[in-house]
């Protein structure tokens, strides 16, 4: 549960189809420093003004049914309602997610390499929600 319920979570939503939980998304206060720096610079606002859409996933059997888009919309609307600019980071090879974001008008602001203490790293794109 720690993955889903971090202390910096503003809110989270689940997707349900016919009474079955099939998806999840959260709005959180922060991502890695590099991601926050890129989004902050692109928007010209402090990191505290960003709402990070995170942990979006839909169960494989429920994909391509609109759940992902609906969850994303819920998180984005909640971000704007809190006076936050919705942003997100996504691994560069998450092609389905990237297609979803770009279809919904999200704009790529940059690319970040996240380095972990175990020597591994992850390449990510940083996206900004379309203007309200
Ligand atoms: C990304 C993800 C959440 C999308 O969920 P979903 O419920 O399938 O999304 P939707 O049905 O709302 O898709 C809306 C649009 O996104 C795009 N899209 C979604 N999946 C796609 C795919 N596999 N290939 C290409 N485009 C895709 C399409 O434009 C789609 O519209 P269409 O079905 O009318 O063509 C889901 O694929 C997933 O959980 N992936 C694994 C986890 C992940 O990568 N999460 C993002 C981490 S940042």
Q: From CA 80, how far away is CA 39, in angstroms rounded?
A: 15
User: From the alpha carbon of 54, which atom of ligand 1 is closest?
Assistant: 48
Task: Confirm if 99 and 73 have CB atoms less than 8 A apart.
Answer: no
Which of the four pLDDT bands, split at 50, 70 and 90, describes residue 1? low
Q: What is the pLDDT of residues 39-84, one digit of tens each?
A: 999 999 999 999 999 999 999 999 999 999 999 999 999 999 999 9
| Ligand 1 atom index nearest CA of 57 | 39
Measured CA to CA in angstroms, residue 15 lies from 22, 23, 39, 67, 118 at distances of 5, 5, 27, 6, 34
The full set of domains in the chain, from first to last, is 9-128 (3.40.630.30)
How many angstroms separate the alpha carbon of residue 27 from the centre of ligand 1? Answer: 18
Output the six-digit token pair for 90. Answer: 């996504």
Q: What is the pLDDT of residue 2?
A: 59
Are 15 and 65 within 8 A, CB to CB?
no
């Amino acid at each position: 549960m720690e993955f889903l319920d971090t202390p910096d979570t503003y809110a989270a939503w689940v997707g349900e189809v016919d009474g079955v939980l099939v998806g999840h998304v959260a709005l959180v206060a922060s991502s890695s420093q590099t991601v926050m720096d890129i989004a902050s610079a692109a928007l010209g606002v402090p990191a505290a003004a960003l709402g990070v859409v995170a942990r979006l996933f839909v169960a494989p059997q429920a994909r391509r049914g609109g759940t992902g888009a609906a969850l994303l919309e819920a998180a984005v609307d909640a971000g704007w309602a809190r006076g936050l600019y919705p942003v997100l980071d996504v691994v560069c090879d998450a092609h389905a997610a990237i297609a979803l974001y770009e279809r919904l008008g999200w704009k790529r602001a940059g690319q970040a390499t996240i380095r972990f203490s175990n020597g591994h790293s992850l390449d990510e794109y940083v996206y900004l929600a379309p203007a309200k």
